[in-house]
Amino acid sequence: MTGFREEIRAWLREQLEGEFAHARGLGGPGREHEGHEVRLAWERRLGEAGWTCLGWPRRYGGRDAPLADQVAFHEEYARADAPARVGHIGEGLIGPTIIDFGTEEQKRRFLPPIRRGRELWCQGYSEPEAGSDLAGVRTRARQEGGEWVLTGQKTWTSLAHVADWCFVLARTEPGSRRHAGLSYLLVPMDQPGVEVRPIVQLTGTSEFNEVFFDGARTAAGNVLGAPGEGWRVAMATLGYERGASTLGQQIGFQREFDRVVETARRTGAAGDPVLRDRLVRSWLELRIMRLNALRTMTSLSAGTPGPEASIAKLYWSEWHRRLGELAQAVQGRAGLVADGPPYELNDLQRLYLFSRADTIYAGSSEIQRNIIAERTLGLPKG
Ligand SMILES: Cc1cc2nc3c(=O)[nH]c(=O)nc-3n(C[C@H](O)[C@H](O)[C@H](O)COP(=O)(O)OP(=O)(O)OC[C@H]3O[C@@H](n4cnc5c(N)ncnc54)[C@H](O)[C@@H]3O)c2cc1C
């Protein structure tokens, strides 16, 4: 084991056997409601100890950590069953985008609170009429008295109910169409012009929201990239979103897979030839995914992720959705009902229900296939 890996492992062990022992395993997809306060305290502890934003440049508070070290960190983190991060949108999406496109002043203002877990972010892209077709955004913003004033509605905004800031794609040039005339605005959430309404998901929990802007305001300087050129900035963030999700994810998947196998043994499903075949196939695909992730990471280290990120996103999300179906199948009929009151879902039921979303967010599978078709295979636009 490398010294770096040992250092991470020792630090996580000390923290997770001590003060944060009760936070172990809290949070994650379908369980974001768990222990928000303690996970926020944990995020800050990570930040104080320099364990957030490892890949960021040193001058912005990161460690300039090589990819191998970042992967080691993610792996050890998952292995230690550390709580799910509350600052992942800041660290993984908006932080790198600010580093790429922000002015020095914006970097000084926004990066340190992300790194220290002092400000949480959400992503204001999708709208009722603009999801896959993001260029259809209708939220408008105009300049007035040294501020941007926003009007419109976003939807499916993950974690908006706990976020301090939102990065919003808005139309700032009246009459502009499609990709032109959009700006990428950084908007504080705690103000009278912003209303957040939770949406209940299949899992019964609410992790995403509708967000209404009715005269919401942000300073004129809170635009990332030039006004009217928000599309380019928005695409860079999406590249990070699709690419970053592969880091360290494998260990979590391996654990879920192990739980499915354990259940199959317990219920007798492991003796069913068809289910055995599906289990073996799933295991093999998980191995392949690991190799794919390494390839994506190699290209990530060479700059902003390209279509490789789409290949990885398509592969992991489809695999995970199939694992969810397998998780249900190995439970047999018991998987169809919740145990007695309060009728909480078990881990495998939650996995099944939440994994339906994997092939939708960060760009649906159909959209990833279009990107691969056009940019990797050179096929004409569909
Ligand atoms: C759990 C979850 C969290 C999310 N979090 C956020 C968030 O934090 N911020 C945010 O902005 N958004 C978020 N989203 C929204 C997500 O980005 C959109 O749901 C997604 O982009 C799809 O858009 P849509 O729902 O409008 O579906 P639509 O775009 O209406 O698509 C409907 C169907 O048509 C297909 N389709 C659409 N266009 C094409 C095409 N050109 N070719 C082939 N098929 C096509 C799609 O693949 C899909 O199957 C989240 C979604 C989920 C499920």
Catalytic residue among 76, 119, 241, 308: 241
DSSP per residue, 113-175: HHHTTS--EEEE--BTTBSSSGGG---EEEEETTEEEEEEEE-S-TTGGG-SEEEEEEE-STT
State the DSSP string of 276-312: HHHHHHHHHHHHHHHHHHHHHHHHHHTSS--HHHHHH
Q: What is the pLDDT of residue 71?
A: 83
* 28-57 tens-digit pLDDT: 888 888 999 999 999 999 999 999 999 999
pLDDT at 93 exceeding the cut of 70: yes
The pLDDT, as a whole number, for residue 339 is 77
Ligand 1 touching residue 292 (CB < 6 A):
no
pLDDT of residue 294: 74
- Greatest pairwise CA separation for the chain in angstroms: 71
> Tens digits of per-residue pLDDT, 338-366?
877 778 889 999 999 999 999 999 899 99
- Which of 89, 361, 368 for a ligand 1 pocket mutation test, highest count of atoms within 8 Å of Cβ? 361
Q: What is the mean pLDDT of the chain?
A: 92
- Is any atom of ligand 1 closer than 6 Å to the C-beta of 370? yes
Expressed in angstroms and rounded, the spacing between residue 306 Cα and the centre of ligand 1 is 20
CB within 8 A of 172, min separation 6: which ones? 140, 141, 142, 143, 148, 181, 182, 183, 185, 227, 228, 230
Ligand 1 atom 30 nearest Cα: 131
pLDDT of 255 > 60? The answer is yes
Closest CA to 237 of 47, 95, 66, 31: 95
Residue 7 appears among annotated catalytic residues: no
- Rounded distance from Cα 185 to ligand 1 centre (Å): 21
Identify which of 279, 363, 260 has the alpha carbon closest to the alpha carbon of residue 317: 363
Nearest CA to ligand 1 atom 43: 366
pLDDT band at residue 244, thresholds of 50, 70 and 90?
low
Per-residue pLDDT at 247: 58
Name which residue leads in pLDDT, 109 or 78: 109
Q: Is 360 in the pocket of ligand 1 (CB under 6 A)?
A: yes
319 closest CA partner among 275, 288, 277:
288
pLDDT beyond 90 at 193: yes
Stronger pLDDT, 360 or 309, i.e. the higher one: 360
Residue nearest to atom 16 of ligand 1 (CA): 361
Backbone angles phi, psi at 57, to 5 degrees: -60, 150
Among protein residues, the one whose CA lies closest to atom 45 of ligand 1: 366
Of the pLDDT bands very low, low, confident and very high (cuts 50, 70, 90), residue 292 is confident
Decide if pLDDT at 303 tops 80: no
Which ligand 1 atom is nearest residue 154's CA?
11
CATH-assigned architecture of domain 242-377 = Up-down Bundle (1.20)
Q: Is residue 125 in contact with ligand 1, taking CB distance under 6 Å?
A: yes
* Per-domain residue ranges of the chain: 1-85, 121-228, 242-377
Least confident segment among 11-25, 113-127, 209-223, 298-312: 298-312
How far lies 357's CA from each of 185, 207, 315, in Å? 27, 12, 14
pLDDT bracket for residue 177 (50, 70, 90)? very high
pLDDT digits (tens, 9 = 90+) for 322-342: 999 999 999 999 999 987 777
Cβ neighbors of 59 (< 8 A, separation 6 or more) are none
Residue 363 CA, closest ligand 1 atom number: 21
Which CATH number is correct for 121-228, 3.30.460.10, 3.40.50.80, 2.170.8.10, 2.40.110.10?
2.40.110.10
Q: What count of other Cβ atoms lies within 10 Å of the Cβ of residue 272?
A: 16
Homologous superfamily, domain 1-85: Acyl-CoA dehydrogenase/oxidase, N-terminal domain (1.10.540.10)
Mutation probe of ligand 1 site: the residue of 202, 354, 364 with most atoms within 8 A of C-beta = 364
Res 243 pLDDT > 90: no
Query: What confidence tens digit (pLDDT) does each residue in 101-124 have?
Result: 999 999 999 999 999 999 999 999
Predicted confidence at residue 241, as pLDDT, reads: 83
Q: Residue 305 has what pLDDT?
A: 59
